[in-house]
Amino acid sequence: MPRPGFVLDVDRSTPPTLFWHGEQFRTERLPTGSRIIYPPEPLAALEDIDGAIRHALLNPLGDSQPLPSLLTSGMKLTICFDDISLPLPPMQRPDIRQRVIEAVLDMAADAGVDDVVLIAALALHRRMTEPELRHALGDRVYDSFAPSGRLTQLDAEDPEQMLHLGTTDQGEDVEISKRAATSDLIVYVNINLVAMDGGHKSVATGLASYRSLKHHHNVRTLQHSRSLMDQKRSELHTSNWRMGRHIAAQGIKIFQIETTMNTNTFPDQFSFLMKREWEWTARDRMSYMAVSRSLDRTPSRLRTTIFQGIKSPHQMTSVQAGEVEAVHEVTTANVHRQQLVEVEGQTDILTMGLPYICPYNVNSVMNPILVACLGLGYFFNLYRNKPLVREGGVLIMHHPTPRAFHPVHHPSYIDFFDQVLAQTTDPLEIEAKFETSFATDPWYIHLYRTSHAYHGVHPFYMWYWCAHALQHLGMVIIVGGDPKSVRRLGFKPASTLSDALEMASDVVGPSPTLTHLHAPPLLIADVK
């Protein structure tokens, strides 16, 4: 029986605490009286994954019929799947998507469905490469569909590929993939790494255009999403739900397949990352020392290669299929079952070590904007009820934050960093002054459509993702970050945690409470 998450009160006997520091690690001795929130141990994986998938397809939730009865010869079937941003790190083969899609295709073949197209639900993310698609879908699926052009990636900037389905009762444009919208059935294959994923967000966001996304990917919505991991208190999700229901009202049929994973995040050589420090064995300590010291001596490019090569041993803990909302309710419960940790009250200072990866730098570079988004957009939002840190409190993050960008994947990020953040870090001002010109820039659009670039507007969304935290926090400090980059983000650089705590005391007073979020593996703090 895996142990649940745990909140440790730091005392004098507590060993130094592990902090992620990008592609390196640090240990810090936290002040006595601090709290450390550890994620729950991994839930047991499903024993018969293929059997569970088949069971889910045959026993759908909500008012959906079993998948085989929705499949008929001569129909138009579109299978959409989550892109490279999930799961994190990418999982060991076979990927969940491959298993699910193979099961769906088997049933489609049995029913004589010929018109089948696969769409990577990119929204405005970068196009995946062939190796990435092969990894997600498996060689069999790739080789069956790619050569004939039936394995596609959403091009939300091709007007011929998109269909405007009208507006919601709140005036939100709903524009999604025409192929999907005109199909007899959409099967959406999802991976729910965190509670934010899935539900109506899968189709309403994953298959949508900028015209549609801007209705919920904006500062106001993100400031009122408290948190992004709590669908019922998230404006982002409320908007997606309106759009999803609008899509359903147009007669578009969606068969949603959602999966959840356990927190078995890192392979054996990094097993110390999955343990609580005081439980480290001699082998764990030696392993940590060896890994940490060799990483410190490794050139950064090689470090990136090592970390980006990590394939996670994530295991599936549930799979459910059928009607979108009914499915998502069960999925969310399963995510919570794995990730929720009860925490009593807020803290003055929240510390966190930021890892090397976020949804948008798989096989890429963690640039400073992504650092900000990972800390303020994602980790800050890993809460339910109330943020872990009190309003006006301080967030201290560990990350080297170099001024490094992937020129192919993140071209608009470079300009955003150099030209936008140089002028202002205020999300509202950025949105008003710069968003449209980046979103409609023909060069970014060209690179998004033909290369492997995130859309021109994507760095704005990263910054909006931070909007709630920026509004909530009194100060953000990055320990060990490149000072110029950190200042450009509008944050304060500190050389050591001690320096950071000293700086924080100007905001929260001399005897603050401190909580450390020990992630990843991921958790959701249920703050009472």
Chain residues that interact with another protein, rule: CB under 8 A: 414-415, 418-419, 422, 437-438, 441-443, 446
d(CA 85, CA 378): 13
d(CA 522, CA 412): 29
Helices (H), 362-496: 368-372, 411-415, 427-439, 442-450, 458-465, 467-472, 483-488
Q: Which of 412, 312, 302, 407 is nearest to 364 (CA)?
A: 407
Q: Which is nearer to another protein, 171 or 442 (CB)?
A: 442
To another protein, the closest distance from the beta carbon of 275 in angstroms equals 45
Q: In a 3-state reduction of DSSP, which class is residue 159?
A: helix
And the tokens for 247? 């899509």
DSSP state at residue 5: -
Q: Which is nearer to another protein, 113 or 430 (CB)?
A: 430
d(CA 324, CA 186): 11
Sequence letter at residue 225: S
The C-alpha R_g of the chain, in whole angstroms, comes to 22
d(CA 402, CA 394): 22
Q: Which residues of 152-182 are buried (b: 16+ CB within 10 A; e: fewer)?
A: bbbbbbeeebbbebebbeeebbbbbbbbbbe
And the tokens for 133? 């698609």
DSSP state at residue 355: B
Q: In a 3-state reduction of DSSP, which class is residue 220?
A: helix
Tell me the CB-side half-sphere exposure of residue 130, using CA atoms within 13 A.
7
In this structure, what are the phi and psi dihedrals at residue 195, rounded to the nearest 5 degrees?
A: -70, -15
**Do 242 and 182 contact (CB within 8 A), yes or no?**
no
Say how many C-beta atoms besides its own lie within 10 A of residue 283's C-beta: 10
And the tokens for 418? 């150099």
Q: Which is nearer to another protein, 436 or 471 (CB)?
A: 436
Q: In a 3-state reduction of DSSP, which class is residue 121?
A: coil
Say how many C-beta atoms besides its own lie within 10 A of residue 525's C-beta: 27
d(CA 18, CA 306): 20
Residues forming beta bridges with residue 492, ordered by sequence position = 477
Residues forming beta bridges with residue 514, ordered by sequence position = 349
